[in-house]
Chains A and B, each alone.
Chain A
Amino acid sequence: MPLYRDDAIVLRTHKLGEADRIVTFLTREHGKVRGVGKGVRRTSSKFGARLEPFMAVDVQLHTGRSPRPGMGLDTVTQVETIGAYARAISQDYGLYTAGTVMLEAADRLVSQEHEPAVQQYWLLAGGLRALSERHHDANLVLDSYLLRALAVAGWAPSFEDCARCGEPGPHHSFNVAQGGAVCPRCRPPGSTAPAPETFALLSSLLAGDWVTADASDARHRKEASGLVAAYGQYYLERTLRSLKMVER
């Protein structure tokens, strides 16, 4: 498979040498892939503008001399734009900081290169499109993306039934380490007690119920964002560096 083609989202880029970039993609069929874009930092580059973070592209890569996919860097040979989300996102600082957290989270959640991660790809593509089209508040899109991406990765929170014993809810306590809502019997010390409206907002963000989410008020959005951030960082086991720059 010296040449392969896939739909991809550009997660991040690093400068390499004089005018090249190492580009990290989240592809639809090949999972996370890293490739070298040769000469893309030059203003005369044919596809440098398409290899920016947030861009959804149709990319062709060459595996080069690496013995099998995932060993070493591939070379980017062609790029076509599918969704130019970078322009709209970078022109609004709130969208940019929220979008950057989404890219960083996707990069962390898909840790192995060349391992297919189709659901993560579609989730990120949908999230970036929603962000760039400004249908909803940027922080709501970010929180919904984080909850759903964690759920796809196997860390689905429970906002209704007790996350520990399964006792049907609604419950009034939330514990990150237990996986969400906890009943009075399972409630460990140090659990928080969010407002019922915050639980409803979190459930709607996880389910993609935008009517409920859009109707929520600022106080509950702020409380939900704090819980989502704590939940995400706990299960990702590392701090999301870009999260502290999000304007809440």
Chain B
Amino acid sequence: MYEGAVQDLIDELGRLPGVGPKSAQRIAFHLLATDDQEVKRLVDALTEVKLRVQFCALCGNVAEAERCRVCLDPRRSDDVICVVEEPKDVVAIERTREFRGRYHVLGGAINPIENVGPDDLRISELLARLADGTVQEVILATDPNVEGEATATYLSRLMAHMGITVSRLASGLPVGGDLEYADEVTLGRAFEGRRVIGNDK
């Protein structure tokens, strides 16, 4: 145990995800040894993020205004919505530069053991966005794990009779890997989602 302020800082840092007591202690002593200006920049960044950042009223992504940059961009297509679990998934998909539609962030996945049900996610907001008939396709990009699959299953069932194309991201072999090292679950999915190539007829 350290005295007063140092221990308080270690305790606060230790509450952060993925930061254990040892890491918290290391970061605290690093901050103590750091130049005042650098520490002030960190404090300002923390204060600013809490003051300025909010969740987009339309899609649920992080934003610095009522609407996020993706929702405000007039060059993006309004007829495709990609549904993801978390704002960080939006960043991952944006890195691909393959998708030019809009997003919808659910805020998690259905996980009954953790007490997260459909009512705890932004599903009613998604259905409201689909009501005016503009959206022609919904891409379900929830995580490829049990909770993500179950959430996708639930959403596809809700949208089954809305006249919208509902698609799911493909899962299978990672690019650059060797086939022999793929596990049977992933390889099985790759077979299931195989596509025809070189057939122009």
Which residues does A use to contact B, with CB under 8 Å? 12, 17-18, 43-44, 46-47, 49-50, 52-54, 81, 84, 86-87, 89-93, 96-97, 100-101, 103-104, 107, 241-242, 244-245
Contact = CB atoms under 8 A, between A and B. Distances in A.
B141 to A, nearest CB: 14
Interface in B33-71: none
A107 B113 CA distance: 10
Interface in B157-201: 157, 174, 177, 181, 183-186, 188-189
Interface in B107-159: 110, 112-115, 117, 145-147, 149-150, 153-154, 157
Interface SS of A by simple majority:
helix
B146 A242 contact: no
A96 B147 CA distance: 9
Contact of B113 (A17, A46, A242): A242
B116 to A, nearest CB: 9
**How many residues of B sit at the interface, in one of the four size bands?**
20 to 34
Contacts of A97: 112
- Counting chain A CB atoms within 10 Å of each CB, the highest count among B18, B110, B146 belongs to B146
Contacts, number: 66
A44 B174 contact: yes
A46 B117 CA distance: 30
Given A49-B183, A84-B185, A245 B149 contact: no
Nearest to B157: A93
11 contacts: A17-B18, A46-B181, A50-B185, A84-B184, A87-B189, A93-B157, A96-B110, A103-B113, A107-B113, A241-B112, A244-B117
Given A44-B174, A49-B186, A241 B153 contact: no
B51 to A, nearest CB: 28
A52 B145 contact: yes
A100 B181 CA distance: 30
Contacts of A53: 146
A91 B149 contact: yes
A18 B18 CA distance: 7
A244 B117 CA distance: 9
A93 B153 contact: yes
A241 B115 contact: yes
Nearest to A107: B113
Given A52-B146, A81-B184, A96-B150, 7 more contacts: A44-B174, A44-B177, A86-B146, A87-B149, A90-B150, A97-B112, A100-B113
Question: Which 6 residue pairs of A and B lie closest in terms of their CB atoms, listed nearest first?
Answer: A242-B112, A90-B149, A49-B185, A96-B150, A100-B112, A245-B112
Contacts of B174: 43-44
A245 B117 contact: yes
A47 to B, nearest CB: 6
B184 A104 contact: no
